[in-house]
Structure 1
Amino acid sequence: MFKKFVPAFEWLTAYKKTDLTGDMSAGLIVAIMLIPQGMAYAMLAGLPPVIGLYASTVPLIIYALFGTSRQLAVGPVAMVSLLVLTGVSTITDPGTSDYISLVLLLTLMIGVIQLLMGLFKLGFLVNFMSHAVISGFTSAAAIIIGLSQLKHLIGVRLEADKNVFLIMIETVNRLSEINPITLGIGLISIGLLLTLKKIVKRVPAPLIIVLLSTLTVYYFEWHQSGVSIVGNVPSGLPSLSLPVINVKALIQLLPIALTIAFVGFMESIAMAKAIAAKEKYKVMPNKELRGLGLANIGSSFFSGFPVTGGFSRSAVNYQSGARTPLATIITAILIILTLIFFTEWFYYLPNAVLAAIIMVAVYSLIDFREVKQLLKINKVDGSVWLVTFLTTLIFGIVEGILIGIIYSLLIFVWRSAYPHVAELGYLQKEHVYRNIKRYPEVTTEQDILIFRFDSSLFFANISFYEEKLGQRLVDKSETKWVILDFSGVNSIDAVALHALEDMTKTQSYEHEVTFLFSGVKGPVKDLIIRAEWGEEYEKHIHYLSINHAHKTIKAGDIGA
């Protein structure tokens, strides 16, 4: 029973010595990568850089014990950091003690939401966030994240920090205030990050640039020339923090907490499943929710902020040889050692370098190829991407993803209410029945109409079916027999069942036709029988195929 709730017992009891080398190597490489990223993402979230390191300690250990992915690298990520800034900055100013307190509360709320979702097996709810919504949102958010770092890259304290259009306008208007040294540091850092990433992928480029820029600023004393630096980073382990529970704040933070809980989980599970598929093991979504939830709860009690699985770090973790979650625990231990012994090394670290790290990290999240592919395949799905992308850019992060979800659900409802229907004819060469519009060569008969429903029947679409069938019976007035192909109907609700009974009775009377049902699946047939339509209808629902119904008509043996 205990093993069921603590997955770590499975890999700990079966741990192989041969896995240790890979776990040690991956843990070290990810720690080197996470130290500058954690500080950068904390800055992006409007928090002191050290909180990014705090969020990279206890939460990682908790996830390693309770998560089911062996290679997922949990920690601060850019998307969640921006969502934190977006949500909490509407209540109080970033950098203040109240702001940090609200972030701790938000982290606790996210953890509780994810934990409860996992306990009550609600992981399926994230399926309502379509891939088009997530891709459009991620691409727009990446642009917002990148432009929000312009102020650090150019050394100008911009007033606009969320609306991309205002950021660009203000930047152009204040070009004369740009600090050339800061801009130079930022641009060189971006160039080096991109170059090293392509040339020597296994080299920890962010850490190298952090060390080089820190030494350079210290040697040339550029911090006295207006170059903004990180400054004092407190040493020591994160202290125990108790989030202050405030009912008003809970209500204000609930929308952003739900958004981060869903978005964070989707980012994690997508990467976890991708790696698990390659390694041929299973990731349990509800257990993942519990693991992430407990990690975020732990983060809130140890001065951290929301964490989730990151794409780039997870890929590096996997490629560096991680075999078990021990690699994540090693990463956390190394960051704890950094907090105890090495925080003073980051005093002269330029904020422009952290901004460069963020910009390069989120650049890969912008995916315009996805919208091209969606528009090519289905313009409606492409419109979901475009609506989400544009509304996120124009109205903001939270508004954009909510509008995207609502729009995608409306598309789903529209598709459900107006599904595909087809009149069928006999394709003699292949001995099958096919849509007369797609196969003009099919054979049809004047007195027989074969009509196929291509979705389940429920209250919202039954009237559409009735309208289409009625119109076809008017157009084909010679019809005496109607074969309803139910092979595509997997379920039917009570309202649709009642409407279907009325439809068959009405159309039979108005057009003097007899209805036969073919290919009715067991669960649907059971409901029809339970509805007690009457013997004259029930005896017409047992035809196994269109061919079976057609032969019965021709034999004049209806009901057999």
Structure 2
Amino acid sequence: MPRAVSDGADNLDADMDNGAAQQQHDGYNVGAPPKKNLLAEFAGTVKETFFSDEPMRRYKGQPRSRKLWLALQHVFPVFEWGSQYTLAKFKGDLIAGLTLASLVIPQDIGYAKLANLPPEIGLHSSFVPPLIYALMGTSRELAMGPVAVISLLLGTLLQEEIDPKKNPLDYRRLAFTATFFAGVTQAALGFCRLGFIIAFLSHAAIIGFMAGAAITIALQQLKGFLGIANFTKKTDIISVMKSVWGNVHHGAMELADNIDRSIIFGIPPGCQGKKNKKLFWVPAIAPLISVIISTLFVYITRADKQGVAIVKNVKKGINPPSASLIFFTGPYLLKGFKIGVVAGMISLTEAIAVGRTFAGLNDYQIDGNKEMLALGTMNVVGSMTSCYIATGGFARSAVNCMAGGKTPMSNIVMSTVVLLALLWITPLFKYTPNATISSIIISAVLGLFDFESAYLIWKVDKLDFMACLGAFLGVIFSSVEYGLLIAVVISLIKVLLHVTRPRTALLGNLPRTIIYRNVEQYPEATKVPGMLIVRVDSAIYFTNSNYVKERMLRWLRDEEEHQKEQKLPKIEFLIVDLSPVNDIDTSGIHAFKELLRTLEKRQIQLIFANPGAAVIQKLRSAKFTELIGEDKICLTVGDAVKKFAPQLTENV
């Protein structure tokens, strides 16, 4: 349990001033809520986990037409914010949408290249998905489309199954299949309200993963940036450096020429400067300006005939249908499913994290389950309209926010501009140099480095930092999937450590009060003679019940040795503060029974203080309260001390 929660549990005992500390609890016993039958308890748990009761409360007492309207608003939030839409909001959304389009058009071409897909598929993915999200999403700032990390992940995983150069059609089909199952996974999580699953990718793991992915993406762009023909397909830093060095060693003069050309075409987007609120449009439009200038330069000078690698053909036209291309049978079905689940979880985690960040900044809340349903739906539809996985990226969402985006309408404006580009402008990208696209990607991924968050993680929690570092090193020295696996494993180890080794604290009395606090946190707190007061800061389950019992006995053994050395009164009572214990299972109760038997042999009485509703209910169901005695279950630690050692509180 984190220190903040552990220390906060101190307040559950009796947070009162000296005057209130004299309050008596005579006549009050520890209560328990009415016991539910098995069916009612199971139904309540299922309802709390899978179904929201908020819509039900809104529907009560409403006419049928109103209920229908509320149902439409629940599924399609556009009906809610659209009914309050104004011209002032549209002005902000229009500027934001146009600014976004100038940023995403060149980026989408580069991200498609990163995924080993034709450039037009990147543009397709910024046309249909944003339209679907605008209808179903709840975030005002999230801007939808391809992102660097997911593009790299797809490009890495897909090419392990199919060679994109030798079999481009099946490669594309597998990409659509992965996108379909990514959407199904996201929508299912939202529909069943299972978003807590993505919590297994902790914030620290994502920080490390993003930083590692940024380095990997940047290294992968050396192929296009330096004009290297024979480049490794592996993504780890060692393989990439070997590939670069091999090309330098065997063709230094040719590489030098490529470096010259790369400097010409690569500098403009790299010199965008830092983003700020007043000049947000400078980095936003810089990629498009770079593409226009470099493309015109190549076209006028015909530098492509002198060896400058260019994008070549970008197919013109609106998204063609692709539902028939998805692998619903055959050997690639399972492979597409596995890749889709992994990519879908990562993209979902990124979108939810970004959405909540901007919602917090602008003082409103997003509905996590609706977000998952919206993301899933847009990717399912996208897979059927020649798109690959889209999500809400931080960079484009930040531009959307700073440009004045007020509602998801900015996504519609951006999508409309992308549509016009697909219909009219795409042939002009034929002469765009690969070096420019590569430099745009490198410039874009620089924002994935979050040194401040990594340093904060190091200061706050070393285990969290290990997850962060593990993800980072795993990505850059092995692969994206191994980096994720390492991060998840370390995060799970951290959870298991907290679950199996919960914190316990030795409590003492604050002078002149009946308040009892952790003696390590409050050195002035004094131990009660003849009593050992221990607090357990976690639920007690089969995973930690034996540890909790053994830890209490160890506290007792250490304290008895200390009492003998100091020639203090023998310990007669063990008081267990159960304030932070929100649940207990049969293993926990069994451990307490064993503890009780051990204490009885040593002539020490066991006393419980402030058990919660679920705990006292289960203790009574197991008849443990009869075993220990109802009189030994007290409201507070102060009551327990007063009851069994009244002479100690006479002067308080």
Distance 2:363 2:520 in 1: 44
The equivalent position to 1:490 in structure 2, one of 573, 578, 582, is 582
Aligned to 2:604: 513
Aligned to 2:271: 195
Offset at 1:303?
Answer: 1.0
Pick which of 15-24 and 537-546 moved more: 537-546
Structure 1 pair 247–287 and aligned structure 2 pair: CA distance change class (3 A):
farther
Distance 1:401 1:315 in 2: 25
Aligned to 1:89: 159
- Per-residue Cα deviation, 1:12-36 (whole angstroms, up to 9, x for no partner): 2221122111111111111111100
Distance 2:513 2:483 in 1: 50
Residue segments in structure 2 that go unaligned for 5+ positions in a row:
1-70, 561-569, 648-652
The equivalent position to 1:19 in structure 2, one of 89, 93, 97, is 89
Aligned to 1:544: 635
TM-score (norm 1): 0.95
Tell me the SS of whatever aligns to 2:308: coil
The equivalent position to 2:105 in structure 1, one of 6, 13, 35, is 35
Pick which of 347-356 and 243-252 moved more: 243-252
Distance 2:330 2:545 in 1: 45
Offset at 1:365?
Answer: 0.8
Distance 1:367 1:324 in 2: 27
Structure 1 pair 430–211 and aligned structure 2 pair: CA distance change class (3 A):
farther
User: Aligned pair 1:285/2:372, yes or no?
Assistant: no
Tell me the SS of whatever aligns to 2:606: strand
* 1:517 and 1:541 in contact (8 A); partners too: yes
Tell me the SS of whatever aligns to 1:246: coil
Aligned to 2:626: 535
Distance 1:437 1:121 in 2: 41
Offset at 1:535?
Answer: 2.4
Distance 1:100 1:281 in 2: 39
* 2:265 and 2:433 in contact (8 A); partners too: no
Aligned to 1:183: 259
Distance 1:441 1:30 in 2: 59
- Per-residue Cα deviation, 1:370-412 (whole angstroms, up to 9, x for no partner): 3332222222221111122112222211121022102211111
* 1:104 and 1:303 in contact (8 A); partners too: yes
1:168 is matched by which residue type in structure 2? M
Distance 1:66 1:418 in 2: 43
Pick which of 278-287 and 53-62 moved more: 278-287
1:449 is matched by which residue type in structure 2? L
Distance 2:423 2:523 in 1: 77
* 1:33 and 1:207 in contact (8 A); partners too: yes
Aligned to 2:114: 44
1:159 is matched by which residue type in structure 2? T
* 2:110 and 2:440 in contact (8 A); partners too: yes
Map 1:116-135 to 2 at 5 A.
Answer: 116-135=188-207
Aligned to 2:244: 171
Offset at 1:534?
Answer: 4.8
Distance 1:264 1:326 in 2: 22
1:213 is matched by which residue type in structure 2? S
Offset at 1:189?
Answer: 4.8
Tell me the SS of whatever aligns to 1:210: helix
The equivalent position to 1:502 in structure 2, one of 588, 594, 597, is 594
Aligned to 2:78: 8
The equivalent position to 2:554 in structure 1, one of 471, 496, 500, is 471
Tell me the SS of whatever aligns to 1:347: helix
Distance 2:156 2:280 in 1: 33
The equivalent position to 1:362 in structure 2, one of 431, 441, 445, is 445
Root-mean-square deviation (CA, aligned residues, Å) is 1.9
Tell me the SS of whatever aligns to 1:423: strand
Structure 1 pair 335–476 and aligned structure 2 pair: CA distance change class (3 A):
closer
Tell me the SS of whatever aligns to 1:197: coil
Structure 1 pair 520–351 and aligned structure 2 pair: CA distance change class (3 A):
same
The equivalent position to 1:308 in structure 2, one of 375, 380, 391, is 391
Tell me the SS of whatever aligns to 1:329: helix
Distance 1:495 1:525 in 2: 15
Offset at 1:507?
Answer: 2.1
* 1:231 and 1:349 in contact (8 A); partners too: yes
Distance 1:279 1:470 in 2: 51
Offset at 1:112?
Answer: 1.0
Structure 1 pair 35–537 and aligned structure 2 pair: CA distance change class (3 A):
same
The equivalent position to 1:103 in structure 2, one of 175, 181, 187, is 175
Distance 2:202 2:632 in 1: 37
Offset at 1:38?
Answer: 0.6
* 1:197 and 1:205 in contact (8 A); partners too: no
TM-score (norm 2): 0.82
Tell me the SS of whatever aligns to 2:594: helix
* 2:502 and 2:537 in contact (8 A); partners too: yes
Pick which of 493-502 and 461-470 moved more: 493-502
Offset at 1:536?
Answer: 4.5
Residue segments in structure 1 that go unaligned for 5+ positions in a row:
none
Offset at 1:122?
Answer: 1.2
User: Aligned pair 1:148/2:237, yes or no?
Assistant: no
* 1:8 and 1:65 in contact (8 A); partners too: yes
Tell me the SS of whatever aligns to 1:229: coil
Distance 1:169 1:47 in 2: 25
* 1:515 and 1:540 in contact (8 A); partners too: no
Map 1:239-388 to 2 at 5 A.
Answer: 239-242=320-323, 243-388=326-471
Offset at 1:183?
Answer: 2.7
Offset at 1:48?
Answer: 1.0
